[in-house]
Amino acid sequence: GIQVEQSPPDLILQEGANSTLRCNFSDSVNNLQWFHQNPWGQLINLFYIPSGTKQNGRLSATTVATERYSLLYISSSQTTDSGVYFCAVEYYNFNKFYFGSGTKLNVKP
């Protein structure tokens, strides 16, 4: 069946540390997005990245579609990075996102 697996499920960092979040998916994707869900529940778009590498400030993401995984890198973490990070994939011929269960990040000052 269709699966989206994220790891680790929980992550605690000291402010300033770097981290890598992983998303594995089970089939060819038409769309892949990374979101940050803030403590108020808002899903904030980080990257639209069905393949390749993108960078935005301290964040970057890489998707290797042929190997069915995506990575989100957070460098020099800040307390405001805390929250839940979701990977969501849209498979070909399906007009819907399948979400992973998220990585809950807590950045301590």
Partner 1 sequence: GAGVSQSPRYKVAKRGQDVALRCDPISGHVSLFWYQQALGQGPEFLTYFQNEAQLDKSGLPSDRFFAERPEGSVSTLKIQRTQQEDSAVYLCASSLGTEQYFGPGTRLTVT
Binding site for partner 1 (CB under 8 A): 4, 31, 33, 35, 40-43, 45, 48, 86, 88, 95-102
Judged by beta carbon, residue 13 or residue 88, the one nearer partner 1 is: 88
| CA–CA separation, 83 and 54 (whole Å) | 21
**Closest distance between partner 1 and the C-beta of residue 25, in Å?**
13
Q: What are the two backbone dihedrals, phi and then psi, of residue 93, each rounded to the nearest 5 degrees? A: 75, 5
Q: Pick between residue 13 and residue 35 the one whose CB is nearest to partner 1.
A: 35
